[in-house]
Each structure stands twice: as C-alpha cells, then as structure tokens.
C-alpha cells in the first residue's frame, strides 16, 4: 500500500522547506544583492531589498583593480591539479586497503587522518624555508603539492570507504577468470568505482578551492588564487560593503555554479561508508 | 583469500601514498620539533640558541592557554551539536516530497561552497554588524536593542558562522543515509501503528548513527584547525574570549614571529589533536566497523 | 566529459597568460585608498619607463604585514618593493634587510630636504634613509561643526581631554543613533593600541621605564584606561570594541559620530562629498592633552622600501622615485584633484595654495605631524623610540595581547583594574622571555 500524501501536507512542507532554504541561503543572497548597490545604498538603514538603482559600479571598480581572470585561473589549476594528482596516488592505496586489508590498515588510515591535525601555521616557517630553497614560492606547482598532500588523507579515506562497499565476490570471480591486476582495475573495479571517485573529486576540488592558509601565505603575484584576491578587499579604508560584496560574489560564483551543477554526482558517493 | 602475491601488490600500491604522507608529515614535524627547542625569532636572525623547554614552558603557562583549550572544545562541540541536530532536521525535511524540493536542496547546500574568509566577512559586516547589519535592523524593527554579536557573544557568533558552513555537509551525508532506509521497514512500522516520534527514535535514528559518526569524525578534523573565521571576525577577542589553540599558535607565529614559541605551540596542538583522535577512534572506530 | 573540456580550456588559457617580459617589479602594498590610486595611475610610470612591468600584490594591512615580514626574514625574495611603516623601518634596517636609498637622497629631483623632518627621521637609521614615505599621518580630532554650534559648544584649536569628555557626553543621543565620540576599540597593536598608547603619552604614562619594566601598574595607565572606558560607555557607539579605523570612518561618514580622534589621512575621506554625508560640516583640531606637555597624537608613514639582495634595485628605485616625488603629487592633483593627493610627507605640499584652498585640514595636519616626536614620545624618559608603538620586534605580539585586554575592558567583560593587571603580567612575561628583564 502506497502512502497517501495529502496535498495539504505537501503544501505545508513546501512552505517550511522554502522558508528554511531561504534563511540558510540568505547570507549569500544578500551579498549578491549588495554587490549591485552603490556604497551609500549598501549601508542604508532600513536596508533596501530589491527596489534600488541596480548598478555594476562595484564590479567595474573590482575589475579595474584586480586581474580577476588570472586569480580564477590559478584557483582552477591549483584545485583541479592537486585533486587529480591526489586521486592518482590515492586510488591504488585505497584499493589495496579495501581489498587486501591487514591488521594495520585501520591504524594507517587513522594515522593519515591525524596528519591533518597539525595546525598549518605551526609548520609555516619550515615549509616556507624549504619552498624558498626549492624555488617553489609563488608557483602553482608549489601550491599543487601542498594541497595534494593536505587533501590526500581525506581522499584515501573517502575512496577506501567507497571501495569497501564493492562486493568482493565480483573481484574473486574476475580473478578466477585469470584477469590480470591491471585488467581487474580497468574493467571490473573502475566502472563500479566511478561514482565514488567522482564524488571524491568534487568534494576535494571544493576543499582545495576554499583553502585559505597556504594559498595566501605561499604566493605573491604569479600564483595567487581567489583567496588572495579576497584579501585585498577585506577591510580597506572607507565604505567597502558593496565592493566587498562584489569581490565575494566573484570569488564564490565559479565554485558555487560548479557545485550546483554537479551536486548529484557529489552526493552519490558522499557517504564515507555511512550507508550500509 | 589474499595470497602472498596480492599482499605484496597491495603493499606496492599503498606505498606511494604512505611514503609521501610520511615525508610530508615527518620533515616539517622534525623541523618544528627542532625549532621548538630553540630561541628563534624571525625578526632577530643570528640569535638562535638552544632554549631547552623554555618555549613549552611559556606556551603552557600562558594565561590564554587554558581559555584557548576550553574554547577549542566548546567551538568543536558547539558546531558538531548544531550541525548534527540541524542536519538531521534538514535531512528529514528534504526527504519529504514538496514543490521545488530540488531548488531548496540547492539553496541549503550553498554555504558549503563559500570560502571561510568570505563567509566570515559577510557575516561580520553584513549580518552581525551592530549598526549596519541585518540582525540589528531586525532587532530595531521589533523595537529591541540590537545585539552586539561579536563583542558580547564572540564565541557563540564564531560557532554560528562555522556551523552555517558545515550544516550542508552534515545534511548531505545524513540525507543520503536517510534515503537508503528501507521504505518497507518504515511502512511496516507505520502499519504497526507506531507514531512519527517513536518511528524516528526506534528506526530512523539508529539507522543514522553511522552517518553521524562520520560527520563527527570529518568535521572534527577540520574544526580543530578553524582559524580564518576567528581572524576575520574577532581576532580572538575581546580578551581571549574567542581564541582557540590554532589561533593562539597563529598569534605566536605571525604576530610575534616567534618561531620557537609557535613550534612549541604546534607540537602541543598536535599532541592534543592526537588525543582527540584516539578518543574519536575508540568512540567511532567500533561504530564504523560494525 | 564536461570536466575534461573544462580542464583543456583551463590549460590553454593558462598557456596564454605566460608571456615573456623584460623586467617585472613585484610590489607589495596595502589596500588603502591612496595605494589603490597609485596602482591605477601606474600606467603613467610604465609609459615613462618602457621595459619595466609592474605586478601588484595588494593586501589588507595585517595580511600584508605577515606576508612581507615572513618573506624578508627568510630572504624569500618574492617582492621587489615593499610597503612598510615607521615601526618596521628601524628594526629591519638594523638587521640589514633593507637597501639604503642613497641614490634617491643624492637626487635633486627627489629633493630629500623637502620631506617633513619627523617623518624623515622616523625612516632614517644611523643617518641613512631606508624607506621613502608615500603618505604620512598623525592623529587629530575631527568634529561636526554643525552639531557643536547647535549645542552651543566651541571647539578650541587645542582641546583638553576634559573638554572632549564633556562635549562628547553632551552630544550623545543614543535613541537617534548619535554618538558623541568614536574611538578605536578593535584589539591590535596598530588599532586600539595606537590610539591608547598615544593617548597615554598625554596622561603621562609610558610602556616601560628605563629598565624595560612594564608600567601598567602605575596610576597614569589607570587614569588613561578609566577615562577611555568611561567615555566610550557614556558616549560611544555600540560594538565599539570591534571598531577600527575603517569602522569608525564609516560611522563618521554616515553622520553617526560627533567627534572622532584618528589618523589625519581620514580628513580627506570625511571631506569628500562623494563618500561622506557630512563633507561640508567637519572641523579639525589638535589631539587633546592634559596639560602635561604631550598631546595624544601619533606619527606614522606608509613607505616604500627595497629589500636587501634585490636584483632589480635600479628599476625599483625608479618606481619609488616616481611614486613618492613631488611630480606624483602633481599627477594625482591633475587627475583626481588636490584633495586626493597623498598627504603628510613633504613641506612643499603645505606651501601649495591650491592644496590649502581645498584642504581645510592642512594646517592642523602639518601642526600635528610636526609636534610628534618619536625619539622623546613620553613625559617621563623611556628606553625606546616610537610614539604609538615601541620599536622592538616583540611589540606586535605584545601590543596586540595588551590590546586584547583593553578591548575586553571596553566590552565590559573585565574591569579596568583586571585588564591592567593582566596587561602587566603578560608584559612582564614577554619581556622576561625576550631577555629584556634579567
């Protein structure tokens, strides 16, 4: 017997759902709206929600001061690059942990996660000195390396939990057929693992995109991503609400759009083994 | 049955990740450990000398240390509580069919894509500002005295901001878990005459336990090192009201440029984090195994 | 598939952005209005110096300070020109981290003798100029002439703290969001401690005695902090303990403060009708005193310097010359008007009739800067230089930690006595750790 869903119940949930969604989204919405105001309008009290002279002045101002596209390119290269490299390293490791677990597998996983607990600022000086000597300061490569390493534990863990859900019998069967290790991975494992890999990829692109300590402290002009772009608008002199809003909107728009378009892929594998 | 061959293959496949992470951990850690025993200030080069446990002594006896430790726990605990409770409610809501459900879901997950610095700036300047903020405007429209969030409730405000960012993550994981719940099971319970509350307590909640532990584990890792939000909004203040351990180390490293002191602080933070980790593994590891 | 094409697009775009350059100067600077203007006008420099390209790293003040200090101390070499302040220059010069600007000093066009003496001496170490001032500032009182008139008050040219307190309380009407005085409260050595340290000088207080013993347990500090906290409680805006320069500027510009004691550079912002709702109603007076011979005004200059070991010294000198000479002032005046020229560095500016005409604050600014004495900042003798700071490496951290305590006192979380006791304790700790107190 299917549950009958009364229209009234559905309408009630529609109202609650939209209200909650609006409240949670409001800070972002308000930022976007404010970015189209003049500075004076931005701090008007009582605030104007929709009826004001919409202007692109703040965007023009931001564009005239910063090379937005360059920052976006850096963010894209750094976050995508580090995620791809980390996946290349993590997939074999997670695969091995999931299908040939030993007594120490859990310990290794937990140790990997614990490396993320060192406060980054505590190792800033050592890393800065090493990067200086290796010529990696203010390079995209340098940031790709850092972000690869800091996201690797999460990636390994996420993939491991996903791989573990893949029934072992299928692998056994393919092994019986005499498939080589490479074939096993390409033909059997990969198709089953794609949703998990896709979602890991997306989650880590988001994490890398939003990382704001290393990306700010190891760059100057060449490799500076959007986090550095925001730091030049965060508290300048005078009225800055509209300009800050414009810069913020520009900084979050690419990743927000990517996230929205790919949310189904993101969600599908985002279980961390939580679903049995 | 794993053969010797597959076992060595497995070892081979794990080794790049393990070795790289090991190098990534051990090199800076060794340098940090070494620096932590030196009197080493970036602004006074050439004066480095062996300091013994001086840096540790100063870090641990810093009057701010106890507060920071407590604040760290309060912040992590508070955010976990809000995101778990809020995430469960949101997941239950999004699990209901209603008009425009897909769009509402997009709205709810949006905060997760916002950079911590940006969200802190937006909350501080546009929402919580006691004169220009929306909250102050709402309070004034209702005839109330606007709350000065960042001054009077600094830690609570920071907790709110961080919780806002992590709410979508908890919601998504819990929603996925909820949707995997057997429809038949729910219906059977309904037929048995179980009310919505007892259905939630006896069927839904146990099913979500695993997802919740995952949320706790992942969020804790990130929440222990929250600092951008504090730097942007309160600078750890007023006083030390919103200083956590990470921020305290930050102050040593990038305000004092005291590399020795910051290194000692970093080592202390690692030890504390690992204590938390061991605790978590005890608590959660079993749950994940089951 | 979508991802793949995105990546391909990304790579090709990245390839396009890599182009060959003759010589590129990387300039680290603060995101203050005057620097942003410099960046906008820098095409003029590029036109005059073909072959030199400029890369700008414009950051918020605190981030900038972290970045350039880490870089110069580790000899990272990421920047060719750094924007630093009066606090950094003596410390860095002592370490040999900066190149002396001998060539500029010798250049008649640069005209080093035109620099205001207190500013110049703040950037000089052992007789050599190590940084060229871009703009300089002291602090003074900005007040609303219309409100004062309405209340029947007259602001003297050199007010006392007693008068300021009385006027502030009289002009406050919290129900109308009108606050008698706006002062910095946000914790930070360059935020509330700049104000409070300068203020304490006029109350006869000092950070350290000649043996580097912290002085927060002395009655002068108690008088300073009590006066400040009480005044802000009676006549300050809500949330004062998170207000820094910018927040107060916004408050004053939108007409919510009757008085504001802050940097002299703010004068041109509050007088700019495009930004300020009170542009034609602002008067200026010297920072208050208590009749002890010191006024509560500070001295600061954002300046351009070249790191030692830079390989692009010649180009960097050319840029600094362009940005800090009189001809830059002329350039700004011709493009954006006299009101927007960077103030507080050169005597010649204060002798320019066009400037005096549009800048009612010129005289008070000059007087404030010239009355600040970084070498003898306090009533009693001190072992340090610096008016609103103490030029030792430990001060950034120490000043901020003390600032946290004072900010907590302002927020009402602890009492004035408790704040002073904490400040004393942590200063003694820091100074002992630093080896100043044996």
- pLDDT exceeds cutoff 80 at B37: yes
Has residue B133 got a pLDDT over 90? no
Q: Is the pLDDT score of B87 beyond 90?
A: yes
Same domain, A182 and A263: yes
Mean pLDDT of chain A: 84
Helices C219-235 and C192-202 pack at an angle, to 10 degrees, of 120
Residues in chain C within 8 Å Cβ distance of A69: 13
Q: Which of C89, C126, C97, C128 is nearest to C386 (CA)?
A: C89
Dig out the tokens for A199 from the structure. Answer: 């979602």
Dihedral class, residue C82 (left if φ above 0, else alpha if ψ from -120 to 50, else beta): beta
Name all domains of chain C by residue range, CATH numbers in brackets: 22-137+300-358 (3.40.190.10), 138-298+374-433 (3.40.190.10)
Instruction: Write the pLDDT tens digit of every residue in C28-42.
Output: 999 888 898 999 999
Contact A114, A190 (CB under 8 A): no
Predicted confidence (pLDDT) at residue C231 exceeds the cutoff of 60: yes
pLDDT tens-digit readout, B143-170: 888 888 888 899 999 999 999 999 999 9
- Dihedral sign of CA atoms B78, B84, B87, B89 in order: negative
Q: How far apart are CA C437 and CA C401, in angstroms?
A: 19
Q: Per the CB < 8 Å rule, is B269 touching A255? A: no
Q: Which residues, 6 or more positions from C273, have their beta carbon under 8 angstroms from its beta carbon? A: C279, C280
pLDDT at A108 over 70: yes
> Is A218 found in the same domain as A92?
yes
pLDDT at res. B190: 72
A20 lies in which domain range? Answer: 7-60
| Domain identity same for A101 and A36 | no
Measured CA to CA, the distance from residue B212 to residue A60 in angstroms comes to: 45
pLDDT on residue B93:
93
Exposure letters C241-260 (e unless 16+ CB within 10 A, then b): bbbbbbbbbbbbbbbbbbbb
State pLDDT tens for residues C76-116. 899 999 999 999 999 999 999 999 999 999 998 899 999 99
Residue C20, pLDDT score? 42
Q: For the residues B213-239, what does the mean pLDDT come to? A: 86
Task: State residue C384 phi and psi, 5-degree precision.
Answer: -125, 165
Q: CA B243, CA C408: separation in Å to the nearest integer?
A: 13
pLDDT given at position A179: 66
Closest residue in chain A to residue B115, using alpha carbons only? A210
Average pLDDT over residues B138-142: 90
Q: Does A1 map to a domain?
A: no
Last residue of a domain, one of A42, A60, A78: A60
Q: What is the structure's pLDDT at C332?
A: 96
Residue A183 has pLDDT above 70, yes or no: yes
A221-238 tens-digit pLDDT:
889 999 888 888 876 666
Residue C19 has pLDDT above 60, yes or no: no
3-state secondary structure of A37: coil
Residue with the bigger pLDDT between A194 and C22: it is A194
Same domain, A55 and A85: no
CA-nearest residue to C56 within chain A is A221
CA distance C369 to chain A (A): 21
Residue B137 contacts residue A47 (beta carbons within 8 Å): yes
Which run of H or of E encompasses C284?
strand C282-286
Distances from the Cα of A161 to the Cαs of A94, A269, B187, B205, C128, in angstroms?
8, 10, 30, 21, 64
Nearest to C58 by CA among C42, C76, C44: C42
What pLDDT band is residue B239 in, cutting at 50, 70 and 90? Answer: confident
Q: Are residues A101 and A203 in the same domain?
A: yes
**Interface residues of chain B, partner chain C, Cβ below 8 Å:** 41-45, 54, 58, 62-64, 129-132, 146, 148, 150-152, 234-241, 251-252, 254-258
Q: Distance between CA C299 and CA C308 in Å, rounded?
A: 26
- Burial class, C214, CB count within 10 angstroms (exposed 0-12 / middle 13-18 / buried 19+): buried
Q: What share of chain A in percent tops pLDDT 90?
A: 32
Whether chain A has a CB inside 8 Å of the CB on B36: the answer is no
CA distance A119 to chain B (A): 6
Q: What pLDDT shows up at residue C104?
A: 93
Minimum Cα–Cα distance from B56: chain C residue = C433
User: In this structure, are A53 and A97 located in the same domain?
Assistant: no
Same-domain check for residues A23 and A50 = yes
Closest listed residue to residue B159, CA positions, set B274, B251, B244: B244
Give the best-scoring range by mean pLDDT among A25-29, A65-69, A198-202.
Answer: A25-29
User: Are the beta carbons of B43 and C69 separated by less than 8 Å?
Assistant: yes
Whether residue A52 is found in the same domain as residue A122: no
Q: What pLDDT sits at residue C162?
A: 95
Question: Which pLDDT belongs to residue C346?
Answer: 95
* Share above pLDDT 70 across residues of chain B, in percent, rounded to a whole number: 96
Q: Is the pLDDT of residue B269 over 50?
A: yes
Percent of chain C with pLDDT over 90: 74
Instruction: Pick the closest to residue B151 from C409, C299, A157 (CA basis).
Output: C409
Say if residue C224's pLDDT is above 80: yes
Provide the CATH number for the domain around residue A205.
1.10.3720.10
Say yes or no: A114 and A191 in one domain: yes
In terms of DSSP bridges, do strands B38-39 and C23-30 run parallel, antiparallel, or are they unpaired? Answer: unpaired
Whether the pLDDT of residue C321 is over 90: the answer is yes
Mean pLDDT of C42-63: 91
Confidence tier at C416 by pLDDT (50, 70, 90): very high
The whole-model pTM stands at 0.87
**Would the CB atoms of B238 and C410 count as touching at under 8 Å?**
yes
A172 belongs to a structural domain: yes
Together in a domain, A80 and A180: yes
Short-list B21, B177, C130, CA closest to A155: B21
Contact yes or no for B249/A121 (Cβ under 8 A) = yes
Name the average pLDDT for chain B: 85
Tell me how close the Cα of A183 comes to any Cα of chain B, in angstroms: 14
Q: Report the distance separating Cα A207 and Cα A266, nearest Å.
A: 13
**What was the pLDDT predicted at A104?**
80
Whole-number pLDDT of residue C1: 40
Q: Which of C95, C177, C389, C397 to mutate to test the interface with B (most CBs of B within 10 A)?
A: C397
Contacts of A98 in chain B (CB under 8 A): none
Residues linked to residue C25 through DSSP beta bridges, in sequence order: C54
Whether residue A2 lies inside any domain: the answer is no
Q: Tell me if chain A has a CB within 8 Å of the CB of C336.
A: no
Residue among A5, A12, A17 with most chain B CBs within 10 A, to mutate: A17
Same-domain status, A144 and A48: no
pLDDT in tens, C357-387: 999 999 999 999 999 988 889 999 999 989 9
Q: How far apart are CA C48 and CA C43, in angstroms?
A: 9
Which phi and psi (to 5°) does residue A209 adopt?
Answer: -60, -40
Any A CB within 8 A of C10 CB:
yes
- The CATH code of the domain at B22-265+272-289 is 1.10.3720.10
The partner residue sitting opposite A129, judged by closest CB among C7, C74, C275, is C74
Strands, E assignment, chain B: 38-39, 49-50
Please check whether residue A276 lies inside any domain of the structure.
no
Task: Please tell me if residue B143 touches chain A, with a CB cutoff of 8 Å.
Answer: no
What's the mean per-residue pLDDT of chain C? 90
> Are both A220 and A253 inside the same structural domain?
yes
How many domains are contained in chain A? 2
Under the banding of pLDDT at 50, 70 and 90, the label for residue A264 is confident
Q: How far is B147 from chain A, CA to nearest CA, in Å? A: 16
Mean pLDDT of B92-120: 91
Q: Where are the domains of chain B?
A: 22-265+272-289
Question: What is the rounded average pLDDT of the residues B236-259?
Answer: 86
């Amino acid at each position: 017997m299917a549950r009958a869903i009364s229209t009234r119940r559905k309408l009630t949930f529609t109202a609650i759902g939209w209200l909650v969604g609006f409240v949670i989204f409001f800070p972002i919405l308000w930022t976007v709206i404010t970015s189209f105001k003049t500075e004076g309008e931005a701090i008007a009290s009582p605030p104007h929600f929709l009826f004001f002279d919409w202007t692109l002045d703040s965007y023009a101002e931001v564009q005239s001061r910063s090379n937005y596209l360059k920052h976006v390119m850096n963010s894209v290269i750094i976050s995508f690059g580090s995620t791809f490299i980390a996946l290349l390293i993590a997939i074999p490791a997670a695969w091995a942990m999931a299908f040939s677990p030993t007594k120490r597998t859990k310990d290794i996983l937990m140790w990997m996660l614990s490396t993320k607990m060192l406060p980054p600022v505590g190792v800033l000086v050592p890393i800065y000195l090493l990067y200086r000597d290796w010529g990696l300061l203010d390079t995209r490569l340098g940031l790709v390396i850092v972000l690869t390493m800091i996201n690797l534990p999460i990636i390994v863990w996420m993939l491991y939990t996903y791989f573990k859900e893949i029934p072992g019998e299928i692998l056994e069967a393919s092994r019986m057929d005499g498939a080589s290790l490479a074939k096993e991975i390409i033909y059997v494992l990969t198709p089953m693992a794609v949703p998990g890999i896709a979602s890991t990829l997306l989650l880590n692109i988001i994490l890398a995109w939003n990382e704001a300590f290393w990306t700010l402290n190891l760059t100057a002009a060449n490799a500076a991503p959007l986090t550095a772009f925001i730091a030049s608008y965060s508290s300048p002199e005078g009225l800055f609400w509209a300009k800050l809003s414009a810069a913020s909107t520009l900084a979050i728009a690419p990743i927000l759009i990517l996230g929205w378009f790919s949310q189904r892929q993101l969600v599908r594998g985002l279980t961390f083994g939580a679903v049995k | 049955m794993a053969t010797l061959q597959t076992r060595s293959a497995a070892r081979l496949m794990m080794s790049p990740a393990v070795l790289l992470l090991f190098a990534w951990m051990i090199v800076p850690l060794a340098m940090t450990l070494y620096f932590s025993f030196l009197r080493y200030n970036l602004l006074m080069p050439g004066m480095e000398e062996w300091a013994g446990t001086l840096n540790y002594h100063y870090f641990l006896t810093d009057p701010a240390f106890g507060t920071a430790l407590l604040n760290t726990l309060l912040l992590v605990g508070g955010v976990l509580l809000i995101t778990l409770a809020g995430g469960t409610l949101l997941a239950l809501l999004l699990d209901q069919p209603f008009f425009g459900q897909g769009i509402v879901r997009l709205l709810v997950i949006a905060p997760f894509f916002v950079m911590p610095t940006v969200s802190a700036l937006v909350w501080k300047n546009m929402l919580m500002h006691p004169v220009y903020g929306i909250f102050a405007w709402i309070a004034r429209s209702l005839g109330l005295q606007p709350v000065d969030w960042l001054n009077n409730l600094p830690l609570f405000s920071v907790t709110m901001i961080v919780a806002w960012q992590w709410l979508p993550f908890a919601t998504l994981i819990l929603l996925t878990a909820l949707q995997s719940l057997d429809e038949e099971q729910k219906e059977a319970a309904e037929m048995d005459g179980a009310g919505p509350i007892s259905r939630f307590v006896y069927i839904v909640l146990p099913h979500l336990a695993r997802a919740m532990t995952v949320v706790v584990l992942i969020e804790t890792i990130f929440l222990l090192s929250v600092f951008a939000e504090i730097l942007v909004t309160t600078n750890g203040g007023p006083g030390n009201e919103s200083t956590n351990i990470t921020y305290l180390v930050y102050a040593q490293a990038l305000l004092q440029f005291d590399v020795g002191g910051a290194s000692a602080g970093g080592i202390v933070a690692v030890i504390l984090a690992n204590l938390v980790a061991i605790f978590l593994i005890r608590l959660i590891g079993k749950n994940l195994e089951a | 598939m979508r991802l793949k094409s995105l990546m391909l697009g990304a790579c090709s775009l990245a390839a396009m952005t890599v182009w060959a350059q003759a010589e590129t100067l990387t300039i680290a600077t603060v995101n203050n209005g005057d620097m942003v203007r410099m960046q906008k006008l820098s095409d003029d420099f590029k036109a005059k110096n073909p072959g030199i390209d400029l890369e700008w790293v414009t950051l918020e003040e605190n981030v900038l300070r972290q970045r350039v200090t880490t870089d110069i101390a580790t000899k990272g070499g990421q920047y060719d020109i750094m924007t630093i302040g009066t606090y950094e220059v003596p410390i860095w010069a002592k370490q040999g981290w900066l190149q002396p600007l001998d060539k500029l000093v010798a250049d008649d066009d640069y005209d080093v003798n035109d620099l205001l003496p207190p500013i110049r001496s703040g950037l000089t170490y052992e007789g050599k100029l190590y940084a060229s001032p871009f703009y300089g500032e002291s602090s003074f009182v900005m007040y609303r002439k219309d409100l004062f008139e309405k209340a029947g008050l007259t602001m003297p040219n050199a007010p006392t703290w007693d008068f300021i307190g009385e006027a502030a309380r009289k002009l406050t009407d919290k129900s109308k969001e009108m606050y008698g005085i706006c002062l910095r409260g946000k914790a930070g050595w360059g935020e509330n401690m700049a104000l409070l340290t300068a203020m304490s000088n006029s109350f006869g207080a000092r950070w350290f005695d000649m043996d580097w013993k912290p002085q927060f347990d002395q009655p002068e500090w108690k008088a300073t902090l009590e006066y400040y906290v009480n005044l802000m409680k009676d006549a300050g805006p809500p949330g004062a303990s998170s207000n820094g320069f910018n927040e107060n500027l916004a408050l004053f510009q939108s007409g919510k403060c009757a008085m504001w004691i802050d940097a002299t550079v703010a004068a041109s912002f509050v007088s700019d009708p495009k930004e300020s709702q009170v542009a034609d109603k602002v008067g200026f007076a010297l920072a208050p005193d208590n009749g002890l011979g010191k006024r509560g005004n500070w001295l600061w200059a954002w300046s351009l310097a070249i790191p030692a070991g830079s390989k692009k010294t010649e180009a960097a000198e050319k840029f600094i010359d362009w940005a800090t000479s009189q001809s830059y002032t002329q350039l700004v005046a011709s493009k954006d008007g006299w009101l927007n020229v960077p103030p507080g560095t050169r005597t010649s500016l204060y002798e320019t009739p066009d400037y005096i005409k549009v800048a009612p604050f010129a005289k008070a600014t000059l007087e404030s800067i010239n009355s600040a004495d970084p070498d003898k900042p306090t009533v009693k003798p001190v072992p340090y230089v610096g008016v609103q700071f103490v030029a030792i490496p430990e001060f950034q951290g120490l000043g901020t930690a003390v600032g946290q305590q004072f900010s907590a006192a302002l927020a009402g979380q602890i009492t004035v006595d408790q704040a002073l006791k904490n400040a004393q304790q942590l200063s003694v700790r820091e100074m002992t750790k630093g080896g100043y107190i044996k």
